[in-house]
Amino acid sequence: MSSDVAQLWHKRKHAFTTEVLPYIKYMSRSGFPAFLSLIGIVSIIQYINLIQNVPENFPLEFIGALVLTPLISYNPLRTWLKEADTIFLMPMEHRLDTYMKKSHIRSLRNGFIYLLIVTLIYWPLYRQTDAYQPIIFIAVLVLLKAVNHVMAWKERQILWSTNRNIMRLFRWLLMGMLLFGWLLSSRWGMLCLTVIVLAMLVTLYRVTSKQHFPWERLIAEERITIRRLYSFFSWFIDVRVGPPIVKQRKYLSWIIPFVPYKKQYTFVYLHLITFVRTEIGGICMRLLILGGLVNYLVASENGMDGWGTVISYILFGLIITLQIGSLRKVHRYAIWKDIFPMQVKLQQQQLITIDRILSYMLLIVLLLTTIPMWGGHSTQVVVMILFALLYPIVRAFNMKRKLVKEVDDLD
Amino acid sequence: MGTVLSVEQLSGGYSPRKAIIQNINLHIESGEMIGLIGVNGAGKSTTIKHILGLMTPHKGTIMINGTTLQDDVEKYRSGYTYVPETPVLFEELTVEEHLRLTAMAYSVPQKQYEQQVEQLLERYHMVKKRKSVTAHLSKGMKQKVMIMSALLAKPALFIIDEPFLGLDPLGIRSLLLELVEVKKNGSSILMSSHILATIEHYCDRFLMLDGGQVVAQGTLQQMLDQANQGGGQARNLEEAFYELLNGGEV
């Protein structure tokens, strides 16, 4: 029986690979790998430069904790489980040990590989910390990764999503602090603290209310993973689109009422809300934070006489605005587009307007993160300001062309 | 009374070679409620899709308020609202945002919208759900949002496809009372439904389709007369329906 279940796991994994393979081919033809390689090469040059001339007071430990915490704490689990009525699923739980074992092994294996890669990249900086103790540090990383994998599973078993999210945040914060501590000092004190923190977490996870097998959570996780993957593929080619994942995002929702109550803003209003509540806004916000952080660090270091910041700003600007472009596709087949009393042209103009507004807003916020290099680099600053002002206009022209083509294709 | 909807000799379907509906004639005057009835596959939804402008007719003309879709898209579409059988919402919008979006699209004056939205939320027991994202609502609640959106737009013609599906008894009653009110205010309603016993009391006229063609139309009395022509004993719409369809057999 266990071999049947193991076969099912492999069958589902194979089915998934077969399904996404064509999209990966399309993506590889799009020039995206070349774009990534370019970013990679620029980053490597910058990084080698940094390793060779690490400035005094460079936050080695903070950077280490920042890059290693997500790798330790984030433990995705691909189970390939599919939606079904849980009444039918629950009796199957006892047969799933072999099935889930394979998912856990895969998740741990991948997690350790990514952790190893990033640790190796960080290693030259780690060597320069005062706490340099390679064997102890590696042992700590392995221990924390393994414990976090178990805890991530325990989190999935927590019934209420609010509790689950609080626990996850708590765990991430504690891991960040522990890693930061181990990068500052690898003495007995840190070992004691680690044991206490882990014991506390284990106790905490034991007392929270749990379900034996978190079917709904695992299925939802699968759904989210697939949706993210397909929304990534949708940058390159039309793909099957499911209903969007909706989140309130109150920290962004406050901008919605600013859209004027006028017919000519109907689709601006709609797409702004779509941006705020769907994954598009989520991705943009994450990229904005990441880009802002990178810009700030590069700007603070004044890399390549300020041109490093310009490159970083433009790269992140392009990547972020590329996400906004997906808004065009979200409601492409909505019936209301053909019911609302509005000409297609007016609808298209509104789409272009929202794209321009969002592009300006995000590019300006991103520009602010480059402030540390503004003094004495007027040419570089002008280039960035020109990019922020002109690129949304270029996008508007491109978008107009695409929208006209889409309508022609539909006709 | 003016003609709100005028359908003349309408034939159409998904394939240009095969017509699903043939020679449909339908006229709706302002303040009238018309029941579109027929078994599944009779052509009700196809007829509605043609009126909505979602399908292009093979032949015939459709006019709303004297305008065809080809003449003036905005004027044609602002003449009706549509409540589909299965609620189709922008799932990321809250209830209130959905209503605002519809009101904006139909150019409802802001003050009027603000007054109406409160009344509608109250009437449909949705005040507590106004800030809820529609993705997280039950099917019945989603249907209420669809109905409220249609009522906000206040067009000349309401096109409603199976409106009672998913509604609780309170919701059905609210909707029926609302439709009576809509009629009083001079708007017309084209409603497709299988709940014959209910619509019998509310519709002024009926149009019965079978195999894509009109098999009977008129007031309840006219429907009964047509059904009983061959010696049938139909006393209500449901019996008339069976009589016209199968000679009285269920």
Cβ B208 vs Cβ B199: under 8 Å: no
DSSP letters, A210-234, are B-SS-HHHHHHHHHHHHHHHHHHHT
Query: How do residues B174-200 score in pLDDT, each as one tens digit?
Result: 788 888 888 888 899 999 988 898 889
Q: Which residues of B touch A263 (CB under 8 A)?
A: 104-105, 107
> Is residue B228 helix, strand or coil?
helix
The pLDDT > 70 percentage for chain A reads 93
Query: How do residues A271-319 score in pLDDT, each as one tens digit?
Result: 999 999 988 888 888 889 888 888 888 888 777 788 888 998 998 999 8
Instruction: Say which residues have a Cβ less than 8 Å from residue B108's Cβ, sequence separation at least 6.
Output: B116, B152, B153, B154
pLDDT at B29 over 70: yes
Query: Closest to A262 (Cβ–Cβ): which among B78, B84, B104?
Result: B104
Mean pLDDT of chain B: 89
Number of Cβ atoms within 10 Å of the Cβ of B6: 17
Mean pLDDT of chain A: 87
Read off the pTM. 0.71
pLDDT at A258 over 90: yes
Q: Which pLDDT score is estimated for B2?
A: 85
Cβ B157 vs Cβ B188: under 8 Å: yes
Q: How far apart (Å, rounded) are the C-alpha atoms in residues A127 and B104?
A: 62
Number of Cβ atoms within 10 Å of the Cβ of A296: 18
**Strands laid side by side in the B80-83 sheet:** B80-83, B157-161, B188-192, B33-37, B205-210, B213-218
Q: How far apart (Å, rounded) are the C-alpha atoms in residues A235 and B237?
A: 54
Interface residues of A toward B, Cβ cutoff 8 Å, are 243-244, 246, 248, 256, 261-263, 265-266, 269-270, 273-274, 277-278, 331, 334-336, 338-343
Query: How do residues A18-39 score in pLDDT, each as one tens digit?
Result: 888 888 877 776 667 777 777 7
Number of Cβ atoms within 10 Å of the Cβ of A351: 21
Residue B105, chain A, CB below 8 Å: the answer is: yes
Q: How far apart (Å, rounded) are the C-alpha atoms in residues A45 and A42?
A: 5
**ipTM of the modeled complex:** 0.89
